[in-house]
Amino acid sequence: MELDFVRWLTRQPAADPRVAVGIGDDAAVLQIPANRQLVVTTDMLIEGSHFELEHHTAEQIGRKALAVNLSDLAAMAAEPLAAVVSLSLPRSQANSALARGLSSGMTMLAQQFDCPVVGGDTNVAAGPLAVSVTVMGTVESDQGWLRSGAQVGDRLLVTGKLGGSLRGHHLDFTPRVAEALQLARDYQVHAALDLSDGLALDLSRMITASGVGAVVDVPRVPISPAAEQMAHESGKTPTSHALSDGEDFELLLVVAPDEAEKLLAAQPLACGLTDVGEIIAEQQMLQRDALGETAPLAAEGFEHR
Ligand SMILES: [Mg+2]
């Protein structure tokens, strides 16, 4: 079964020039283009903490395990190169249906994002299902987006719409890789991150990294229909869902004011791009209402267990 899982994962439609040595040797060998840097990110999903096998299909879990990593590559403006996957299957469910489901969810996304799986390892243990994915990408040397590049006066832009991800978006979101590569090619981005833990909490991390502050124009924050729906039941406002729900996997981008103007006029992304605030010198996070009144914005969001 172990061999089968790896074989399913590493099935590739055609020879890939980036993979000098794929599965079958002790390690994979990848070709990195000249003048590019390797970008590496990893994420582990564990049953009981990140998902439940009763509520989520193996395909959904496999897809998400790769998607969250691709979202981190997008946040760096890196182009996917390859992925490796490690599984710990629970002894009680160590059947090929589970492994096959995980693998098919993953390979569909891997093909869509041209990110071949070049290796894997499978173990069977008494514990819960754990899926660990490591994704490698490349970026033109020293051109990767960092969290630390925000400058006073810059605008804050977000892709897509925010909040209510638990309603399903967290399982079927499209990592913003293509959008990031397009923006990196055509525009100057000072800083970026992907929104995994909520706009307020992730923004606090960015301004800390950059040594600046920020004001969020709350009425401008794009609210997803799912956040509107959730607000009917949660007693919270749609806006508070949009500010602090986790797993949006949209991009938060920081750009100079004239670049923001160009971007907002051109609207180059199908998912949309919204100006939600600005970078300020005082190292604090504020929210501004429709009347222009400001109040502190708490760095609250989705804390991973
Ligand atoms: Mg991230």
State yes or no: pLDDT of 195 exceeds 80: yes
Q: Any residues with CB less than 8 A from the CB of 148 and at least 6 apart, and which?
A: 191, 209, 210, 211
Q: Look at the block and give the residue holding tokens 């069977």.
A: 124
Q: Which residues make up the CATH 3.90.650.10 domain(s) of the chain? A: 147-296
Q: How many CB atoms lie within 10 A of CB 47?
A: 19
**Measured in angstroms, how far is the CA atom of residue 75 from the centroid of ligand 1?**
7
Q: Residue 165 corresponds to which amino acid?
A: S
Which residue numbers belong to the known binding site for substrate? 50, 247, 302
Q: Which residues make up the CATH 3.30.1330.10 domain(s) of the chain? A: 2-140
Length of the chain: 305
Q: Any residues with CB less than 8 A from the CB of 292 and at least 6 apart, and which?
A: none
Q: Look at the block and give the residue holding tokens 């070049």.
A: 118
Label the pairing between strands 36-46 and 29-30. Answer: unpaired
Three-state SS letters, 239-260? HHHHHHCCCCCCEEEEECHHHH
**Measured in angstroms, how far is the CA atom of residue 127 from the centroid of ligand 1?**
27
pLDDT category at 92 given cuts 50, 70, 90 is confident
Label the pairing between strands 117-125 and 79-90. Answer: parallel
The SS3 assignment for 282 reads coil
Give the per-residue pLDDT at 4. Answer: 65
Return the structure tokens found at 129. Answer: 């299902």
Neighbours of ion ligand 1 (CB under 5 A): 72, 194
Give the per-residue pLDDT at 96. Answer: 81
Give the per-residue pLDDT at 15. Answer: 82
Global confidence as pTM = 0.95
Give the per-residue pLDDT at 93. Answer: 78
State yes or no: pLDDT of 90 exceeds 50: yes
Looking at 70-84, 92-106, 127-141, 191-205, which range is the least confident one?
A: 92-106
Give the per-residue pLDDT at 12. Answer: 58
Q: What is the DSSP letter of 247?
A: -
The average pLDDT across 175-195 equals 98
State yes or no: pLDDT of 104 exceeds 90: yes
Which of 3.10.20.30, 3.90.650.10, 3.30.420.40, 3.40.50.10360 is the CATH number of 147-296?
Answer: 3.90.650.10
**Measured in angstroms, how far is the CA atom of residue 246 from the centroid of ligand 1?**
11
Which residue numbers belong to the known binding site for ATP? 120-121, 147, 196
Give the per-residue pLDDT at 81. Answer: 97
The SS3 assignment for 94 reads coil
Query: Does domain 2-140 match CATH 3.30.1330.10?
Result: yes
